[in-house]
Amino acid sequence: MKWEELTTADFPAAVEQAQGVCLLPLGVIEPHGGHLPLVADLSAAQEVAIRAARQEPVIIFPWYYFGQILEAKHKPGTVALGGELILCLLDSVCAEIARNGLKKILIVNGHGGNNDFLGFFLRTALEEQRDFVVYVSNWWEGLDVDGVKRIGHAGEGETSGQLAVNPELVKMDQVPPPEQGQPLDRYAHLPGLATATNWYADYPNQYAGDGSRGTVEQGEEMIEAAVEKVVKQIRAVKQDEAAGQLYEEFFGQSQH
52-110 pLDDT per residue, tens: 999 999 999 999 999 999 999 999 999 999 999 999 999 999 999 999 999 999 999 99
Residue 142 lies in a domain: yes
99: domain CATH number is 3.40.50.10310
List the beta bridge partners of residue 109: 26, 138
Instruction: Give the model's pLDDT for residue 43.
Output: 97
Helix H or strand E segment including 25: strand 21-26
- Residues 191, 197, 203, 209, Cα dihedral to 10°: 60
Is 250 inside any structural domain?
no
Q: What is the pLDDT of residues 178-203, one digit of tens each?
A: 999 999 999 999 999 999 999 999 99
Look at residue 21 and give its three-state secondary structure: strand
Domain carrying residue 110: 3-235
pLDDT at 150: 78
pTM of the model: 0.95
- Strands 104-109 and 133-138 turn out to be parallel
**In the predicted model, is pLDDT for residue 133 greater than 80?**
yes
Q: How far apart, in whole angstroms, are the C-alpha atoms of residue 225 and residue 220?
A: 8
Query: How confident is the model at residue 170, as a pLDDT?
Result: 97
DSSP 206: S
Cα separation of 47 and 234, whole Å?
Answer: 15
pLDDT tens-place string over residues 134-151: 999 999 999 888 777 778
Q: What is the pLDDT of residue 151?
A: 80
Number of compact structural domains in the chain: 1
**With the C-alpha atoms ordered 108, 109, 115, 120, is the resulting torsion angle positive or negative?**
negative
